[in-house]
Structure 1
Amino acid sequence: MTTDALLTLTQWLSPGFPVGAFAYSHGLETAIETGALRGIHDLELWLTDLICEGGGQTDAAFLSAAYVAEPDAIHLVDATARAFAASAERLLETDQQGAAFCRTVEAVWGTQLGTLTYPVAVGHAASKSNIPLALAASMYLHAFAANLISAAVRLVPLGQTEGQALLAKLAPLIQITADKAMKMPDTELYSQCFAADIAAMQHEVQYSKVFRT
């Protein structure tokens, strides 16, 4: 891996890259509003489940599948990623972030990606840019967790130090999940974070909200 590849991936997954990740809470806003998530311990349990059994794991699997897919099969990976969105807002989240990612990568690097869901777009772009899959999957999951912790810091509220301590604590789990997702065949894909899915559905009709999802 070259330094250029590492720096490119870091740029793609940084909070400053214009995919609008800060505007989405993955249903977390409703979980906090309803009292299901009250503090750092609840957040740790919530994120652990999401990373291991929910959207974190499946996104890493779709990223990996897109990385190794033939160009004419990318649309099949993308269609499956869309089918795994359990609510309208989850589909909005992955669709809008993916579209923004594709537009920016094309404008800056000239890489033609089309219009893809977010994890599929990152995986396809990483493959085209010769960025190692293991690094792309683990850093994507790390950015996923970091964004949700950032949302929780604003909503619960939590201290910045508490949030960073939790992200560091989750790092080994993120790596284990990324390694597992890279080897997961499409016949074994699953997501079973039903509380998070229900929270995302309830967020669609939540009266007052800060985040889009």
Structure 2
Amino acid sequence: MNTGTRRMTTTIEVLTLAQLLSPSFPVGAFAYSNGLEAAIAEGRVTTAEQVQDWLEGILMHGSGKADAVLLNVAYRAQVVEVSEIDASARAFAASKERLLETDLQGAAFCETVAQVWGLSIERLTYPVALGRAARLLGLDAELTTAMYLQAFAGNLCAAAMRLVPLGQVDGQEVQLALKPICLEVAEQVKTAELDDLFSCAFASDISAMRHETQYSRVFRT
């Protein structure tokens, strides 16, 4: 079979990524809603269809797409370039809570991969840290990106299940519908550079800012 220039993915790569991106991996992803909690509390996201639309926007035009770009840039970078990429990731965070989310999850990720795999990775924002770990572990960048985006969407679906509330079947149907988008974005960012960073999911960014002053909260962001 002719596979062209595409590298064959091994089963161990898939299993390693499943572990790195599992809800059991101690980055505390369950504690963050990326601003979705504020959107739900304000009545702007109240149905499964609205949850799907909201997440599509984030994955294609917002923080999900930006994370995918950062992951791939970090994956291809030389060691001396990583600190600049991480600084860009921090500067690009749209709000205090977005910065908190990527910083704390990234720190926990770096600490865990250092202890489990012996990887020497400085404290980095989450997508940058994942990109570096994937490179050091020899994992496929496109697969890493697609699975990261699926995990990202899955975590937000779990938040919606608790807050809308969204039924479990509805939550799974939303995630199924988002899989093609995860694959599409992973394909788009394979050769991305820092100059490709952008976000125009303004409603999501504003919700993340408004969440900072929300009176009653379940999630940290």
Pairwise same-fold verdict (TM > 0.5):
yes
> Partner of 1:25 in structure 2?
33
The alignment partner of 1:182 has SS state of: coil
Q: 2:126 aligns with which of 118, 124, 136?
A: 118
Alpha-carbon shift at residue 83 of structure 1 (Å): 1.1
Deviations 1:76-119 (CA, angstroms, capped at 9, x unpaired): 11111111100000000000000000000001111011100000
Q: 2:188 aligns with which of 169, 175, 180?
A: 180
> Partner of 2:3 in structure 1?
none
Q: 2:48 aligns with which of 40, 45, 48?
A: 40
Structure 2 spans left out of the alignment, 5+ residues: 1-8
Matched residues in 1 for 2:92 and 2:211: separation?
18
Q: 2:87 aligns with which of 72, 79, 97?
A: 79
Matched residues in 2 for 1:101 and 1:118: separation?
7
The more displaced of 54-63 and 188-197 is 188-197
The alignment partner of 2:189 has SS state of: helix
Residues 1:162 and 2:170 are matched in the alignment: yes
Q: How do residues 1-213 of structure 1 correspond to structure 2 at under 5 angstroms?
A: 1-213=9-221
Matched residues in 2 for 1:7 and 1:114: separation?
24
Q: Contact 2:69–2:196 at 8 Å: present in 1 too?
A: no
Alpha-carbon shift at residue 149 of structure 1 (Å): 0.4
Q: CA RMSD in A?
A: 0.9
Counterpart residue type for residue 73 of structure 2: A
Matched residues in 1 for 2:127 and 2:197: separation?
15
TM-score (norm 2): 0.94
Counterpart residue type for residue 151 of structure 2: A
Equivalent pairs, count: 213
